Chains A and B, each alone.
Chain A
Amino acid sequence: MLRHLSPTIFAVLFTLALLFVIPWLDRYATYLLISVAIAAIGALALNLLTGMCGLINFAQGALMGVGAYTAGNLGNAGWDILAVPAAGFVTAIASLVIGLPALRLRGLYFGVATLAAQFIVDYLFKILEPITHGVSGLPIRQLRVLGIVIQNDRMFATVCVLSLLLAWWAMYRVKNTDLGRSFLVVREGEIVAKGMGIDVAHTKIWAFLISGFFAGIAGALLGFNARLADPEAFTLGLSVDYLAMIIVGGLGSLTGPLLGSLFVTLLPEAIQRVAESFGIASLLSALREFTFGLLIIVFLIFEPRGLSALFRKLMFQRDARNRKKASYLNNSTQQPQGEETK
């Protein structure tokens, strides 16, 4: 039945189901949900740039940091929920600045330029003390929505899940516009895109702006969640985590970043819980990163198109099985009639 629903209605129903579940979750589970939702927004943003437009970005951590610091400062200044979209706009501009070399560089060369940007921004977080509070980190007040203080994890989870729905819906809409289709053509080949009359520079600029905006939203939520914007939280490691999410989830698809963020955020947790139930938590703690890395490698070898492709394959097999079962049942109900006629 779900297959017949439009993706938007499905997303809304899924969000409603999540919102329905939140009041029953304890704080720990709620925190996991928050982590997944924020990671999914960040992964959707990076997926637009890297998965859809083919521009490798190693500065996602830095961009999210820009979002966190902007939202932190504006939130502390009493900007209410407006601090979140404002963080998106500021990060979109930062993203555009980082992306300007993309107009002249391609592929790995552009990737290296974003890597340099990651280190520069990381350094700026440490030295721009009036804005960032330097290495001590910027303490952030609780998020306010229309004057209401979001003072517990369940309320914050609701904000994050709704933000994720909006981010996903915006990406879905973008993907189905001419601009979205231009992203895909630019990814496949800039010369082909030019030949088709697509303004490549214009397309890339839009990719940076949209991706940066949602990276800023994710960063803002991350800042309000941690209540601290700390330079150590927005390092290259975070950028690599996000690249892992979109690769594991499946580049270019809209379900990929969601599945990837779920996998990357919850797999270490699952490993920890399994280890605890077998009484080998201390041993597996040391092996957790190793196990995590190993699982990703195994996954990429056996399903390089990501979890979304695996998911589709499983659904297809299930459908095929159901069709086979249905046709068998139809045949078996018709068979006796045939025998009677014999």
Chain B
Amino acid sequence: MKRLFRAATVAAVLLAAAPVKAAEITVCIWGSLTGPDALVNGISYAARDYLEFLNQTKGGIAGHKVRTVLLDGRYKLDEELKNYRRCVDREQAVFVNGWSTGAAKALRDQINQDAVPFITQSGAGELVDPKNLPYMFIPGPTYEQQIIIALRAAAKSGGRRAVILFPDNEYGRGPTGIVRQSGEAEKLGLKLETIEFPFDAQDITAQMLRIKAFDPDLVFVQGSTPQVLVALRDAAKVGLPASKFAGSANSLGPAIPKQLGAAAEGYRALVVFSDFGSQIPAMEQIKQFMKTNEVEKKDVFYMRGWFEGIVMARAIEAAVAKNGGKVPEDIAAFRKSVRNEMVGLKDVDTGGITPPADYSNHQGTTQARVAVIKNGEFVAVGDWFDAR
């Protein structure tokens, strides 16, 4: 019996580590450091790096060091749910930066209950609901807004027919269904066709033949870089030029021109965040940070994470200022104050990564423009479109 209770006591001591003090500024971030969408994990690394940059150059936020916790969600629901509990309870984070649509949906009631500001990397429109989800924020336009931006761009350039090509998962079906039901394409004078393909398909030539028969002016691929790679490769097989294709901001991967070469010339993707290496003030900060630190990724997703770091820091800074420059002792009050300041963010200078951000709509920005592959590189062209 003694042994049993000894074991139980040891387990309790091991498991129940004391939480950190509430008077610290702790920001908890998780992303797919490993897992199927690790290609875009620069977001999570950059959000951490921006806060570290503040620690190194300004002594933190409003003079208070920031403790960042970076965790791996592995794109697994149970792992993300576990990370959330660790962030909110054990780490006492004032802001949580999470990852997938599934996790954000599963956690929405708990986020409300815990009243903790939460940024998800999902672009699912149903998560942008300030009334019912007051603590949930996303960075940039929703997936459906991005499709609408592309349709508007196509209509503006005289297009008459458009196709949305989408995978058979939520990421594909959800936004496509919403756009189809909205009637936006018809309002723009576009005849719309929607074509589905299996998410992990390695050959979609059959779908390409259907698209060719429809003879569209725009084919919007509601997928990420891997799906666009398959689509453009098979489009070339049936004689469809890449210039007819466009994709969301998640398909702005440098792998597309790198792997497809000439077959990718003319492909367009939406730009919500300036690319890595752009001539903008935020890039100067990143270069300064890189002098003394290694960065994990050097792509547009890193820029998105840097943007998220900026807006989180701004909201926290405003909350600390409201408390007389001190970090509130009560973590619940601190979180609530940060959420209120987040919603109050207007005209935030993001160092040129996006147009000035405004979080009163819980999205930061709803604008995007088009980048086209020219000579093996994405080049931003044209004006910003607002999908609001």
List residues of chain A with CB under 8 Å of any chain B CB.
Answer: 1-2, 13-14, 17-18, 20-21, 24-33, 35, 126, 134-137, 139, 142, 151, 153, 225-228, 230, 232-233, 269, 272, 281-282, 285-286, 288-289
Q: List the 6 shortest-distance A-B pairs measured between CB atoms, nearest first.
A: A29-B15, A27-B89, A228-B106, A17-B8, A135-B170, A285-B72
A286 touching B168 in the complex, CB below 8 Å, given contacts A27-B85, A28-B85, A32-B82 = no
Show 19 A/B contacts (Cβ-Cβ < 8 Å), sorted by A: A1-B1, A18-B8, A21-B8, A21-B12, A25-B15, A26-B16, A26-B17, A26-B90, A28-B82, A29-B15, A31-B81, A33-B15, A134-B173, A135-B168, A233-B77, A233-B78, A282-B70, A288-B72, A289-B34
Q: Which of B2, B11, B78 contacts A226 (CB 8 A)?
A: B78
Q: Is B158 an interface residue, CB under 8 A from the partner?
A: no
Is A17 in contact with B4, judged by CB distance below 8 angstroms?
A: yes
Q: Which residues of chain B in 1-55 are interfacial with respect to chain A, using CB atoms and an 8 Å cutoff? A: 1-5, 7-8, 11-12, 15-17, 19, 33-34, 45
Is B78 in contact with A35, judged by CB distance below 8 angstroms?
A: yes
Is B89 in contact with A28, judged by CB distance below 8 angstroms?
A: yes
Is A285 in contact with B33, judged by CB distance below 8 angstroms?
A: yes
Alpha-carbon gap, A228 to B7, bound state (A): 34
Residue in B closest to A31 when the chains form the complex, CB atoms: B85
A137 touching B19 in the complex, CB below 8 Å, given contacts A21-B11, A126-B168, A286-B33 = no
Residue in A closest to B199 when the chains form the complex, CB atoms: A135
Q: How would residues 139 to 177 of chain B score, 1 for a CB under 8 Å from any chain A CB and 0 otherwise?
A: 000000000000000000000000000001110011000
Is A13 in contact with B88, judged by CB distance below 8 angstroms?
A: no
Alpha-carbon gap, A218 to B346, bound state (A): 47
Residue in A closest to B294 when the chains form the complex, CB atoms: A282
Is B34 in contact with A228, judged by CB distance below 8 angstroms?
A: no
Is A137 in contact with B105, judged by CB distance below 8 angstroms?
A: yes
Which of B5, B77, B90 has most A Cβ within 10 Å?
Answer: B77
Residue in B closest to A30 when the chains form the complex, CB atoms: B85
- List, in ascending order, chain A residues with CB within 8 A of B296's CB: 282
Q: Is B329 an interface residue, CB under 8 A from the partner?
A: no
Is A288 in contact with B34, judged by CB distance below 8 angstroms?
A: yes
Q: Is B109 an interface residue, CB under 8 A from the partner?
A: yes
Q: Is the interface of A mostly helix, strand, loop or mixed?
A: helix
Give me 7 other A-B pairs in contact (C-beta within 8 A), A17-B7, A227-B107, A228-B77 excluded. Answer: A1-B3, A2-B3, A26-B89, A31-B81, A35-B82, A135-B174, A281-B70
- List, in ascending order, chain B residues with CB within 8 A of A285's CB: 33-34, 72
List residues of chain B with CB under 8 Å of any chain A CB.
Answer: 1-5, 7-8, 11-12, 15-17, 19, 33-34, 45, 70-72, 77-78, 81-82, 85-86, 88-90, 102, 105-107, 109-110, 113, 168-170, 173-174, 296
Q: Which of A25, A31, A282, A289 contacts B82 (CB 8 A)?
A: A31
Alpha-carbon gap, A142 to B109, bound state (A): 10
Is A29 in contact with B8, judged by CB distance below 8 angstroms?
A: no
- List, in ascending order, chain B residues with CB within 8 A of A151's CB: 113
- Smallest Cβ distance from A222 to chain B, in angstroms? 8
- List, in ascending order, chain A residues with CB within 8 A of B168's CB: 126, 135
Which of A21, A24, A33, A225 has most B Cβ within 10 Å?
Answer: A21
- Smallest Cβ distance from A240 to chain B, in angstroms? 13
Alpha-carbon gap, A1 to B1, bound state (A): 7
Which of A13, A33, A230, A233 has most B Cβ within 10 Å?
Answer: A230
- List, in ascending order, chain A residues with CB within 8 A of B70's CB: 281-282
Is B105 in contact with A139, judged by CB distance below 8 angstroms?
A: yes
- List, in ascending order, chain B residues with CB within 8 A of A135's CB: 168-170, 173-174
- List, in ascending order, chain A residues with CB within 8 A of B16's CB: 24-26, 29
- List, in ascending order, chain B residues with CB within 8 A of A153's CB: 85
Alpha-carbon gap, A285 to B45, bound state (A): 13
Which of B19, B85, B169 has most A Cβ within 10 Å?
Answer: B85
Is B102 in contact with A137, judged by CB distance below 8 angstroms?
A: yes
- Smallest Cβ distance from B355 to chain A, in angstroms? 31
A2 touching B4 in the complex, CB below 8 Å, given contacts A29-B16, A226-B77, A289-B34 = yes
Alpha-carbon gap, A206 to B88, bound state (A): 44
- Smallest Cβ distance from B86 to chain A, in angstroms? 4
- List, in ascending order, chain B residues with CB within 8 A of A142's CB: 109
A25 touching B81 in the complex, CB below 8 Å, given contacts A2-B3, A135-B173 = no
- Smallest Cβ distance from A116 to chain B, in angstroms? 17
